[in-house]
Homo-oligomer: A and B are copies of this chain.
Amino acid sequence: MTKKIRVGIAGYGNLGRGVESAIYQNDDMELIAVFTRRKPEDLKILNDEIPVHALQDIEAFQGKIDVLILCGGSKNDLPEQGPALAKHFTTIDSFDTHADIPAYFEKVDASAKPNEKTSIISVGWDPGMFSLNRVFGEAILPEGTTYTFYGKGLSQGHSDAVRRVPGVKNAVQYTIPNETAVNQVRAGELPTLTTRDEHTRECFVVLEEGADPKEVEQAIVTMPNYFTNHDTTVHFISEEELAKNHSKMPHGGFVIRSGKTGEGNNQVIEYTLKLESNPEFTASVLVAYARAAYRLNEKGEYGAKTVYDIAPGLLSPRSAAELRKEFL
């Protein structure tokens, strides 16, 4: 084994913990340190031999870390941290506010390129592996339609929205792909689907004492943007039941490209994820792309990149010759 890739983690919630765990599955990488905005001495990570430092001290680690994996949130953390840290480190992040990606890309690029750093942004499964499959599908089958379905999976944003409804003590929301629609798509029928056709929503809610279930249900199903465009079912359960049956973070979904070739032959490409842990899977994708970022930087390819710019062989610890021999 040659020199290991030295990795740092910036931000340590569910995603950061998933990244720590994923790094230990990759023999060609070593975790140098975790950086946090909390008090370092208060943060307990999986391997207590790994040092934890204050994020504000991170610049002292220039030259000691090959790739920094940013595990902050897209709303408040990454818009600032991404461009700031890309000046000093080769970085990977999972920035997922789709509408803001072009502007974010430009900012990160402007930081990384003049400083000879490489930053792969918006890595994960959507954006990420799903984005790749949308592009592969359209490029291979130009005459066709792409469908993206999510779930069954826990949606953090929608769960938070339900928790903000007066009378709700705690709640989770699952997004569920509509089976009828999915089967039509898989059969190559190229249906025209509305938002309501594609997914249903299911909420499991613990009420505050004295709250009126009818009022709460009504408040949820009529919530603009979040629920009005979907058929939503609300279940009321106990705090114990919620803890017992709804504490995991499963997710997944599928990207289907359905198209026609020749004299009308149906061709269907489907990419499916069934994930017992959404943050751990996202973390695993980030770590594979960290390897690619390191290699690109070594080759002198600087600036911001996305999954579209990364040759798939760069993700694998194996050599190009081994991939050709064993995997092609």
Contacts and interface: CB of A to CB of B under 8 A. Distances in A.
Interface of A: 17-18, 21-22, 25-26, 98, 101-102, 105, 122, 127, 129, 131-132, 134-136, 138-143, 186, 188, 248, 261-262, 265-277, 280-281, 283-285, 288, 291, 306-313, 315-317, 320-321, 323-325, 327-328
A76 B165 CA distance: 70
A269 B269 contact: no
Contact of A306 (B102, B140, B269, B324): B324
B267 A269 contact: no
Nearest to A285: B140
A186 B261 contact: no
B261 A267 contact: no
A275 B265 CA distance: 8
11 contacts: A22-B261, A25-B142, A101-B324, A101-B325, A129-B140, A135-B313, A136-B315, A139-B315, A140-B281, A270-B271, A270-B272
Nearest to A309: B311
Number of copies of this protein chain within its complex: 2
Nearest to A272: B270
A322 B143 CA distance: 19
A328 B308 contact: yes
Contacts of A135: 312-313, 315-316, 323, 327
A327 B271 contact: no
A135 B281 CA distance: 16
A313 B324 contact: no
Nearest to A314: B308
A265 B285 contact: no
A4 B141 CA distance: 19
Nearest to A122: B328
A125 to B, nearest CB: 9
Contact of A310 (B132, B134, B311, B323): B311
A328 B270 CA distance: 17
Given A135-B312, A315-B139, A268 B262 contact: no
A116 B312 CA distance: 24
